[in-house]
Amino acid sequence: MVQNGTKRSTGARSRRGFLRTVGGVTVGALAATPATAQSGGGTTHTISMLTEGGSYYFDPIGLHVEPGDTVEWVNESGQHSATSYTSDNPRYDGDRRIPSGAESWNSGVFEESGATFSYTFEETGTYDYYCIPHRTLGMVGRIVCGSPGGPAAENEFPESDSPQGTMPSSETIVEEGSLEWPYVPTTDHGGPPLLFWGGVGALGATSAYLFTVYDRASGRYSTPDLPGNE
């Protein structure tokens, strides 16, 4: 169910933190989305829309809700929209990426900081959405209502709209509940940052060994022909 957008003061909400890079290793933190109970029994979750430097993003990028829950998008900075991947919406004419029984939505482009838009999720499944001005710059998000399902869960994310960072899978969103932007998946090897630095270390060790072999083969360290060494 789509609900009309409203305006509110800029200072009413502060942007939530996101992953920082410290000492060459990216540290991920999973933060719960601010949520409040509704009189009807559902819960309201908040997603921020932000511009920061050269980045445009929704935070959290992945969110799990239950049927009857409402999501409120808040325009913290920049000019953004929250728009479902459906053919009736602006600047998208591709395949539908929300459940077949769900109502599409479009907040329109907010130009004022503090503007809000709400949508109540009723159909179970996976919902992908985007920002009209910044879709092709990777400003996209994913919400799973109840359990994964529908075209967004069954098909790859549009390559032209590759998110800034990585789009979490529907299953990961259900498992974690809320995933901050930028999402960086972890692996059994300690995640991409540790794999990177491990690779750098292995390359450095190999290079040092080959240099040593070459240096010794050059004769640089051979014993000079001195009297008495014959």
How distant is the alpha carbon of residue 109 from its chain centre?
21
Tens of pLDDT, residue by residue over 179-200, are 999 999 876 544 445 444 444 4
Does residue 64 have a known ligand-binding role?
no
The structure's pTM equals 0.71
Higher-confidence residue of 9 and 134: namely: 134
Tens of pLDDT, residue by residue over 101-135, are 999 999 999 999 999 999 999 999 999 999 999 99
Does residue 139 have a known ligand-binding role?
yes
Tens of pLDDT, residue by residue over 121-130, are 999 999 999 9
As a whole number, the mean pLDDT across the chain is 78
CATH class of 2-179: mainly beta
Tokens of 21: 């890079």
How many other C-beta atoms lie within 10 A of the C-beta of residue 93?
A: 9
Residue 8's pLDDT band, with cuts at 50, 70 and 90, is: very low
Residue 31's pLDDT band, with cuts at 50, 70 and 90, is: very low
Domain ranges of the chain: 2-179, 186-220
By C-alpha distance, which of 63, 9, 57, 55 is closest to 34? 63
Residue 5's pLDDT band, with cuts at 50, 70 and 90, is: low
d(CA 222, CA 216): 8
By C-alpha distance, which of 79, 56, 84 is closest to 142? 84
Does residue 189 have a known ligand-binding role?
no
By C-alpha distance, which of 165, 162, 160 is closest to 180? 165
- What pLDDT score was predicted for residue 16? 41
- What percentage of residues in the chain have a pLDDT greater than 70? 64
